[in-house]
């Protein structure tokens, strides 16, 4: 099959293109770096010509409320219209576990708007909700840092390695559309503050992590259900310790 990966030069997209190519498919990395821009529509029709599947793993370059909403709405409309014109048979999108529960955050409001566009379109789809990537732990720590203190929620998370995300996305892209949402998560459920403490210790970072239930996570307060999956997620195999040895 021809499978176009929107955001195909990024963290997940580049891994996904390699996996799909190794399985014998024509995987096209589509991003502004390769001349395909979903915001302006540049190069989109040509990239989608003959494609059976489109996988959207692109992310907004800005998390500011208006900018991120504009990105996902404009990109989503342009991409879905181009897919309909090209006869694409399966739209796969990467989103976040807890999106519908975290609507106090502009980012999650934008992701929900993206999902609504997908569901309202005529193209068969699968939305994949992933938990937090282990690769983002440094950014999460930085977002909670004040001086030498990192203040983070103790709420439970179930982080997943990007390699496991890419593997799951490849399987979904090669499967039949579910016209619904599936969840993927890492193998271990752990408190966010405790996990970041382990991460900083492992990289020799001397900052002190303080567990604070009132500490916001990108603008919203968390509880143990906010970022954790339901009863039957697809679980990745890579543990935090294994992931750290690979860094």
Beta strand extents in the chain (DSSP E only): 2-6, 26-30, 53-56, 90-96, 125-130, 145-146, 149-152, 156-157, 180-185, 190-191, 208-211, 234-235
Q: Is 190 in a helix, a strand, or coil?
A: strand
Average pLDDT, the chain: 96
Band (pLDDT 50/70/90 cuts) for residue 219 is: confident
- pLDDT at position 183 is 98
What's the average model confidence in pLDDT over 182-210? 97
Query: What does each C-alpha distance from 89 to 98, 125, 243 come to in angstroms?
Result: 27, 8, 35
- pLDDT at position 63 is 84
Structure tokens at 1: 């099959």
Q: Is 44 in a helix, a strand, or coil?
A: helix
Q: What is the per-residue DSSP string for 70-117?
A: HHHHHHHHHHHHHHHHHT--EEEEEEETTGGG-TTSHHHHHHHHHHHH
Band (pLDDT 50/70/90 cuts) for residue 18 is: very high
What's the average model confidence in pLDDT over 8-14? 96
Query: What does each C-alpha distance from 105 to 161, 213, 214 come to in angstroms?
Result: 24, 17, 15
pLDDT (tens digit, 9 = 90+) per residue, 25-74? 999 999 999 999 999 999 999 999 999 999 999 999 888 999 999 999 99
Residues with Cβ within 8 Å of 2's Cβ and at least 6 positions away in sequence, in order, are 25, 26, 28, 50, 51, 52, 53
Alpha-carbon gap, residue 181 to 31, rounded angstroms: 24
Residue 19 scores a pLDDT above 90: yes
Band (pLDDT 50/70/90 cuts) for residue 218 is: confident
152 beta partners: 211
- DSSP H/E element including 201: helix 192-202
- pLDDT at position 67 is 96
Residues with Cβ within 8 Å of 199's Cβ and at least 6 positions away in sequence, in order, are 137, 138, 141, 240, 244
pLDDT (tens digit, 9 = 90+) per residue, 114-142? 999 999 999 999 999 999 999 999 999 99
What's the average model confidence in pLDDT over 193-206? 97
What's the average model confidence in pLDDT over 10-25? 97
pTM summary value: 0.95
DSSP 16: H
Q: Percentage of residues in the chain with pLDDT exceeding 90? A: 97
């Amino acid at each position: 099959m021809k499978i176009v990966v929107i955001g195909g030069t990024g963290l997940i997209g580049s891994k996904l293109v390699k996996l799909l190519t190794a399985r014998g498919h024509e995987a096209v990395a589509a991003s502004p770096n390769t001349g395909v821009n979903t915001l302006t529509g540049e190069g989109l029709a040509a990239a989608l010509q003959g494609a059976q599947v489109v996988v959207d793993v692109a992310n907004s370059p800005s998390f500011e409320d208006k900018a991120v909403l504009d990105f996902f709405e404009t990109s989503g409309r342009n991409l879905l219209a181009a897919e309909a014109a090209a006869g694409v048979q399966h739209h796969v999108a990467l989103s976040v576990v807890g999106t519908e529960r975290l609507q106090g955050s502009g980012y999650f409001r934008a992701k929900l708007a993206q999902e609504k566009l997908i569901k309202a379109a005529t193209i068969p789809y699968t939305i994949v909700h992933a938990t937090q990537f282990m690769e983002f732990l440094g950014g999460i720590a930085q977002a909670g840092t004040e001086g030498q203190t990192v203040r983070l929620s103790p709420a439970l998370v179930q982080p997943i390695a990007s390699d496991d995300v890419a593997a799951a996305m490849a399987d979904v892209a090669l499967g039949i559309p579910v016209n619904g949402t599936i969840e993927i998560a890492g193998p271990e459920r752990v408190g966010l503050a405790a996990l970041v403490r382990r991460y900083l210790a492992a990289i020799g970072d001397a900052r002190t992590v303080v567990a604070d239930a009132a500490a916001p996570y990108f603008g919203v307060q968390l509880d143990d259900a906010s970022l954790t999956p339901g009863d039957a997620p697809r679980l990745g195999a890579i543990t935090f310790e294994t992931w750290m040895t690979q860094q």
